[in-house]
Each structure stands twice: as structure tokens, then as C-alpha cells.
Amino acid sequence: MPSPVVVSNRGPLAFSRGADGSLVPRRGAGGLVVTLGPGAQRAGALWVSAALGDADREAAAGAGAPDGIVHADDGFRWKPVVVDPVQYQAYYDVVANGALWYCTHGLWDLPRRPRFDRHWRDAWASYRAVNSAFADAVAATAEAGSTVLLQDYHLGLVGAMLRDRRPDLRTSLFVHTPWCSPGEMAVLPDDSVAELLAGMTGAGAVGFHSPRWADAFAECCRTVLGASPATFVAPAATDADDLRAVAASQECRSELAALDRLVGDRQLIVRVDRIELSKNILRGFWAFDELLETRADLRGRVVFGAFVYPSRQGLPDYLAYGQEVRTVVELLNAKWGDDEWTPIVLDPTDNYHRSVAALRRYDVLLVNPIRDGLNLVAQEGPLVNDRSGTVVLSRQAGVWDSLGEHSLGINPFDVTATAEAIAEALDRRPDARTAAAERLATAVGAHSPLGWWDALVDAAALTTASDARL
């Protein structure tokens, strides 16, 4: 059996310089490595991804001939893709995160943005060039007849490129974002949309976390390409064993003790997110404000812990959003707080053990994205929570499909409804909390990263890259 190949923008390893100047690999950030890592390690997969920082580039250069593959101790085999930094920035910041992310999540502020001018055409050319570099790297290293698992919107054109360059490969593309309606997609320039959808469907099959996103994608393809794509649905799962080990670690227990001292005997609302427009952080705070307005009995009795850390700092919108988050927290703490009680504790440090400690301690976990491909935090909380806490969950998250019936559902735009759901969760009687928390943990535990990996491989195996229809 040829080794499978995983292809993603961000890879499983990130290199840095150790104290002695040597290059040290660490596990890369983000949900992709959590969900795909165990299957890739078990299968001995080759992972093709971009060399992101200087240390990554040096590690890539050190890998040398003949295959340019970096072998790490924990079983990952990494094939770095090294691209020109200016071209990479246009591909990543302008096209992938500045346009495709906004489009699929419905984030645009249409009276003002986007503005697709001549710079867009240059950026799109960079997107095409970086996709081509990924396709070349796969074409040069994949064994004959390999299964190739392409990941996400960064690599929308690679499927069609591989079909031309290596028709022997069995390829699928998995999209971790939601997908949008043809009307929302039509905001992108016509030629970009047509090239994107043709590129994506060039992979044998296109997968999503939820049937909602797969249906929307198929609708876009019918509208733009006049043909139905081969799609599949396979929701990813978090690694429960790994997460429970982190929750039981000494580092996490120390963070939990510190959090306990801070919160005391009050109830705790928690959110754990990147500072990301789609996460709807501001409306979460406004819902808390409305809760304190309408429920005087809760003043001084509840703390909102916001464990939110910076992301995509290359985009001005994200910097501005981070500033707004800080401003709203200051405003609400000044409005409601006193010497004894800080209503909102904002923690912008990306401290994984502290975030997991917060997931152990919550009474209410607020997951209220505007639109989300899946949302792993809603899976992680119920696995480690010590207090039979309740999940308040946006119906626009892909994970709603499996966890919605055991959560309190909200329309993420409705601040009043969010405040009411948080109040209902805080008021829940212990027996109702316990029963719902047990059902949630069971629903999460029914899925695993290895099962998800098998689903991706099965979907790719049903087709070949030269056959765009299942």
C-alpha cells in the first residue's frame, strides 16, 4: 500500500531555535493537527505543508536531497513547501483569509468591503502560484496510486492541478469552513469563483463537516459550473485521550487552582476562542451585559472568563476587532465591577493548559459563532468538564448537528436570546445539568480522530483524481 499524503497550508510541525541554537520541532498550532494527526501518524502519512517562519525554512533547507523530507521524532514525515514570502502573503492574507474566509463565513461588511480591484488579480495570481507549488510538491513525492487528502480553502486549486499532473492519485479535498449560498459566493469576481469551484471539484470528492455546508457547495457548483459535484460529509472529532491527559496534567491542575482562587464560589461562564470575527465575541459580552441588566441577583455571583487569543494579525480587521474586544471588556467591567468582583476576566495569552483548566471549571460554555465549519471547543468542553456544565451553542456551528439536542441552542445574532439561554443554563437544577452533561459527553465520545481519518480515506478511495464524479 502506498503511503497516504496529507496536504495543508499549516502543517503538523513548527520549528523554532532552541537555547543552544539548534532547530527544535514542536507540534503546530490549530485544530487540523489535533484531528488529522493521530490518523496520519498511524498511517505513516507524508504531510506536505508550507514552511511558515524562518526556522521552518532553515529546517526545510537542511532536509536536503534527494526527497527534501524532514523526519521528526514523533513519527511525522514532513515535506515542506517553500514559497516566496511576498507571494505567500498575497495567497494567505489577501485571498485565503481576506476573501475566501469572509465569503464562506458571511463576514463581509458589504457597503464598505470587499473591493476587488486590479490588486485582487495580482493576489489571485499568487494564490494560483502557491497552489501550483503545493501541487508540484505532491506530484514529485507521492508514491504511485497514493491517496491524497487535501485540506481547506487555502488549497482550492490543487485538486484540478493534480488531476492533470498525476492522474494515478486518489484525491479528496476536505473543507473545514462552512460554505455559503450562491448569492454570497457571487460577491467574489466571476472569474475567481469559476476557477475556484472548478479547482475544488477537480479533486475526486469534496468533504465538509456538515450536510448544510455540502449542500450549499453543491448549490454553488450547480449555479456556476452547471454541474453537481461529488461531495461527502464527515464531521471531525477531537482526540479525547490526548485532551484528558492534558486535563489531568500537573500544569493544568495548577492553572485550575489559580482559576478557583479567582472565581471563588461564583458560577463561571467560559469561552475559549481565537480572536476571530466569526466567533462573535462582542455579542457574547453584550449578552452578559443584558444578563446583568435583567438579573440583579446574578450581579457579583457570576464571572465571565474569556480565554481569547490573537490570530491572523496580518489582517487590519483582526487587529481592530481585538481592540474592540478589549474596549468592550473595559467598559463592562467599569459599568458592573467593584473592588470584590471583576465581571469579565479577559485572558489574551495563548496558554493551552489554562484554556483546558477553564474547560474543566465552567458552569456555562458559550460557543456562539456567526457561522462555523464545526467547532472543536464545543466537543472538548464536555469531555473534561468537572461541574456538569451546560453548553450554550450557536445553531450556525457545524457541531450543532451532533450536539444541538443536548445543548441550549441560540441564534448567534440575537443578544437577548443569548442572555436568556445563559440565564437558563445558570439556573439549571443539578439533576438536569448532570443528565445533559452526560448525554453531551456520550455524543462527543461516539467519534474519534481515527474514525474520521478512515472516513476521509474511504471517500478518496471511491474515486481517482482523473474522475471528478463519484
Interface residues with ligand G6P (CB under 6 A) are 10, 30-32, 152, 176-177, 311-312, 373
How far apart are the C-alpha atoms of 106 and 114, rounded to whole Å? Answer: 12
How far apart are the C-alpha atoms of 255 and 275, rounded to whole Å? Answer: 21
The residue type at 235 = P
Q: Which has the closest alpha carbon to 361: 231, 267, 440, 243?
A: 267
> What distances in angstroms separate CA 356 from CA 201, 250, 286, 383, 407, one per listed residue?
38, 12, 25, 10, 20
How far apart are the C-alpha atoms of 52 and 24, rounded to whole Å? Answer: 14
* Least distance CB 52 / ligand G6P (angstroms): 9
Nearer to ligand G6P, 92 or 304 (CB): 92
* Least distance CB 454 / ligand G6P (angstroms): 21
Nearer to ligand G6P, 91 or 120 (CB): 91
Nearer to ligand G6P, 322 or 343 (CB): 322
Instruction: Give the cell for residue 382.
Output: 464536555
Nearer to ligand G6P, 382 or 398 (CB): 398
Strand blocks (E) in 252-358: 267-274, 302-309, 344-347
Nearer to ligand G6P, 197 or 303 (CB): 197
* Least distance CB 371 / ligand G6P (angstroms): 11
* Least distance CB 50 / ligand G6P (angstroms): 9
> What distances in angstroms separate CA 242 from CA 11, 26, 236, 446, one per listed residue?
19, 16, 15, 16
Nearer to ligand G6P, 178 or 343 (CB): 178
* Least distance CB 437 / ligand G6P (angstroms): 25
Burial of 453 from C-beta contacts in 10 A (0-12 / 13-18 / 19+)? buried
* Least distance CB 373 / ligand G6P (angstroms): 5
* Least distance CB 8 / ligand G6P (angstroms): 7
Q: Are 159 and 199 in contact (CB under 8 A)?
A: yes
Strand order in the sheet with 70-71: 70-71, 77-81, 46-50, 5-7, 147-151, 170-174, 205-208, 231-233
Nearer to ligand G6P, 329 or 455 (CB): 455
Nearer to ligand G6P, 2 or 310 (CB): 310
Q: Which residue is nearest to ligand G6P (CB)?
A: 176
Q: Give the largest CA-CA distance in the chain.
A: 69
* Least distance CB 27 / ligand G6P (angstroms): 14
Instruction: Give the cell for residue 218.
Output: 453543491
